[in-house]
Amino acid sequence: MTDYPADQALLARLRAGEQKAFRELVATYQGAMRAVAFAIVGSRQADEAVQDAWLSVVRGLDAFQARSSLKTWLLTITANSAKNRLKQNRREVLLDDLPAPHGSIGDERFSESGHWLLAPHAWHHDSPDALLTEDELRQCLERTLASLPSQQGSVLHLREREGLELEEICNLLQVSASNVRVLLHRARLKVYATLEHFEETGQC
């Protein structure tokens, strides 16, 4: 019995060594796996950690019992590979921040009493589709995402693009819930600042 019938079908094809099945697997999960590895070992070793993870996945296909989803299994393997790469103790969560290209929504936007000094303008585009038709905006966003410290970027990726729950992110990255929330919030405000800048100036 399994709760993951779609995974079962894919799993059978993977076990048969079907290349298209691997293509599906890689396309679906590589981004999330990279984000997990990136958060744990940083950019220099992330690719190696993901490679290690893929090898473990191929090796573990027969033993995998499908008691969890494929996604959970893959991300757990990735987190473990990344941790194995970290020979020393776990890195401290980098709550130090790096500046983003268009800043954030920082204290300077508010008066001493906490009211908006520089309130948000209404954006011209009011749907994601409308915003994403702008090539330059897409590139601009990519630049902001690339500027995020590794853990901030990974947490944002796992939450927004992979749809992981905060709790799953905490467990995978072994970061406390409050730190995950801090990282996520900082990253979101930077993304906001980039969109705001683009909406106001029409350029990156």
Partner 1 sequence: MLSCKELVALSSDLLDAHLSLRQRVAVRLHLAMCYRCRRFIRQMRLSRAVLRQLPQGQSAELDALAARLAELRRQQG
Closest CB to partner 1 among residues 15, 90:
15
95 contacts partner 1 (rule: CB under 8 A): no
Closest CB to partner 1 among residues 13, 91:
13
Q: Which residues contact 32 (CB under 8 A, 6 or more apart)?
A: 71, 74, 75, 157, 158, 161, 162, 164
63 contacts partner 1 (rule: CB under 8 A): no
Residues 157-186 that bind partner 1 (CB under 8 A): 159-161, 166, 181, 184-185
9 contacts partner 1 (rule: CB under 8 A): no
**What's the CA gap between 82 and 37, in Å, rounded?**
5
Residue 84 CB neighbours (<10 A): 14
Contact criterion met (CB below 8 Å) for 30 and 22: no
Contact criterion met (CB below 8 Å) for 186 and 104: yes
Question: Which residues are at the interface with partner 1 (CB under 8 A)?
Answer: 14-19, 21-23, 25-27, 30-31, 54-55, 57-59, 61, 105, 107, 109-110, 113-116, 119-120, 122-123, 126-129, 131-132, 138, 141-142, 156, 159-161, 166, 181, 184-185, 188-189, 191-192, 195-196
